[in-house]
Structure 1
Amino acid sequence: MTDYWNALAGGMLIGLSAAVLVLATGRVAGISGIAGRLLQGVQLAAGAAFVVGLACGPVLFRLLSGQWPEVTLTASWPILVVGGFLVGFGSRMGSGCTSGHGVVGLARLSRRSIVAVATFMTTAILTVYVMGIFA
């Protein structure tokens, strides 16, 4: 039951952080856009604060819960790197990532975000299915 409460709290914090960022800066909390602007040297203060906040999440979880989240990677580093590049390419090609479209775009009932999230989810489901066949 604790896992459900952790997931609920995490989801609420994601929504809260997205709302605070929109209210404070007028910018959508899309990680790919924030990272892209940081790399271009644009909006350094707001972007850096948001990224630092993301990195501090696991530390805050540890302080509040006394647990360290266990992460197990089963893929090799080359696979992870290629996957990271593909995700980055896809998020730029799709004009946003799951955080921007999924959290903020869906909340705003954006048609473009609804199509993007439907595409993300369909691709993810098909990938899991195909990888399950070959595993």
Structure 2
Amino acid sequence: MTIINFTPWTALIGGACIGAGALLLMLVAGKTAGISGIVSGIATQADKSWRLAFVVGLVLVPAVLFATDQVAVPELASQSVVKLVLAGLLVGIGTRLGNGCTSGHGICGIGRFSWRSLVATGIFMAAGIATVSALGWGA
């Protein structure tokens, strides 16, 4: 995505759906929708069923949308495998260092007025902006 084809209405709807899902998980199960915590909890926590269902939904819904041509599949063929693997590893390391991910801090933490989450989200955003700017990927 570039700023040229930014679609604010779909972004607004998507953000509202993510927020509604996080709120529903909190109201129904009393759980925070932090993806890194949910995924790591599959291996370490006793309550695996809701975690597995959550992760399956995260994978299944986009797969159905891509398969039915409701949304376009992102073009990654022009990116090197090394770059994609490195990006994934850096995101994972940042998630561990920040004690959570953008969904946990940015959606749920800020929604709870957590200063720690506000600072973490600011750092996530600044690091992302700096990386894109330094590597010239924003054009």
TM-score range, shorter chain: 0.7 to 0.9
The TM-score, its normalising length taken from structure 2, stands at 0.83
Aligned residues: 133
Q: Deviations over 1:42-65 (max 9, x none)?
A: 3211111111111132245469x8
Aligned equivalent of 1:14, options 15, 18, 21: 18
Q: Deviations over 1:5-63 (max 9, x none)?
A: 32222111101110111122222111111111013253211111111111132245469
Gaps (5+ residues) in structure 2? none
Asked if 1:70 corresponds to 2:58, the answer is no
Identify the residue that residue 4 of structure 1 maps to in structure 2: 8
Aligned equivalent of 1:106, options 98, 110, 117: 110
Q: Deviations over 1:49-108 (max 9, x none)?
A: 111111132245469x85232301132112211211111111011110000000111111
Aligned pairs for 1:24-43 (under 5 A) are 24-43=28-47
The TM-score, its normalising length taken from structure 1, stands at 0.85
Aligned equivalent of 1:83, options 64, 74, 87: 87
8 Å CA contact retained: 2:37, 2:100:
yes
Amino acid at match of 2:108: V
8 Å CA contact retained: 1:101, 1:116:
yes
8 Å CA contact retained: 1:61, 1:67:
yes
% identical aligned pairs: 43
The alignment partner of 2:136 has SS state of: helix
Identify the residue that residue 129 of structure 2 maps to in structure 1: 125
The alignment partner of 1:99 has SS state of: helix
The alignment partner of 1:27 has SS state of: coil
Q: Tell me the distance in 2 between the aligned counterparts of 1:84 and 1:5.
A: 28
8 Å CA contact retained: 2:66, 2:73:
no
Tell me the C-alpha RMSD between the 2 structures: 2.5
Gaps (5+ residues) in structure 1? none
Asked if 1:55 corresponds to 2:59, the answer is yes
